[in-house]
Amino acid sequence: MKTKTIEKSNDLRYTMNVTKGGKDVIIKIRLNDECHNGHQNFSITGEVYPTGKRGDRNLISAGCCHDEILKARPDLKLFVDLHFATAKGVPMCAIENGFYFLKEGNNGKSPKEVVTYYLRVTDEEFEALKIAEDEVYFQYLIEKLNVPARWENEANEAIKLMEEWTGKVFVNDSTKTGFIPLGKRMKEIEKKIESGYYTPEKIQARENQHQTTH
């Protein structure tokens, strides 16, 4: 008796068709390096039509129509959350974008609203992160909160579902990770913390000095 060979692939794609609420929703989920940027990432997009009336002339919405997708399949929220995240679950430019959103918000939304959504962190974690003065300290806090491990667990859960749907085993052959741990630099940050470098008083003193020199 021959053992069935399971196909391995660095490119998983799955399409599902859902009819709900008078609409036909074509949902496309992928995990691959379609953008040719060195790492596989998740994507979930859709096409929405009136039921039984598919075709360009009847297209209601398309692309990242995540609200429509979730109305049709609420159970796909995991993939919506992971949209554009790497195969390790890391949001795109997590530290750079995350720190910018922490300070500036985005499109009229508050830093808390944007950061919790973009980095998939809790309100409590946001409160811990908002003291970060620079990107390195921000990443230090991200790692201390063990957020990257949760990102990866979420990605693994999504990969498992895609493997079940496609009958293939995912191969992560990304050449870029999207996130490089601080490693030995963690101790450098901890020394700065111990020295009081990141206390509100020291931060304010540096801001005052910066203002007087510019």
Query: pLDDT tens digits for 178-187?
Result: 899 999 999 9
pLDDT of residue 27: 98
pLDDT exceeds cutoff 90 at 208: no
CB 141 within 8 A of CB 132: yes
pLDDT at position 116: 97
pLDDT band at residue 210 using 50, 70 and 90 as cut-offs? low
Q: Which residues contact residue 96 at a Cβ distance below 8 angstroms, ignoring those fewer than 6 apart?
A: 135
% of the chain with per-residue pLDDT over 90: 80
Lowest mean pLDDT of 58-72, 90-104, 163-177, 195-209, name the range: 195-209
* The predicted structure's pLDDT at residue 202: 78
Distance CA 137, CA 100 (A): 13
C-alpha closest to that of 118 among 153, 94, 149: 94
Indicate the pLDDT class of residue 60, thresholds 50, 70 and 90.
very high
Predicted local confidence at residue 129, as pLDDT: 96
**Residue whose tokens read 């009229």:** 108
DSSP 195-214: TTTTSHHHHHHHHHHHHHH-
In one-letter notation, the amino acid at residue 145 is L
pLDDT (0 to 100) of residue 183:
92
pLDDT tens for 121-138 read: 999 999 999 999 899 999
Contact 91, 80 (CB under 8 A): no
Burial class of residue 49 in the structure, from the number of CB atoms within 10 Å of its CB (0-12 exposed, 13-18 middle, 19+ buried) = buried
pLDDT value of position 178: 84
CA dihedral 114, 117, 121, 126 (to 10 degrees): 20
- Domain ranges in the chain? 10-182, 187-214
Segment among 28-37, 147-156, 195-204 with least mean pLDDT = 195-204
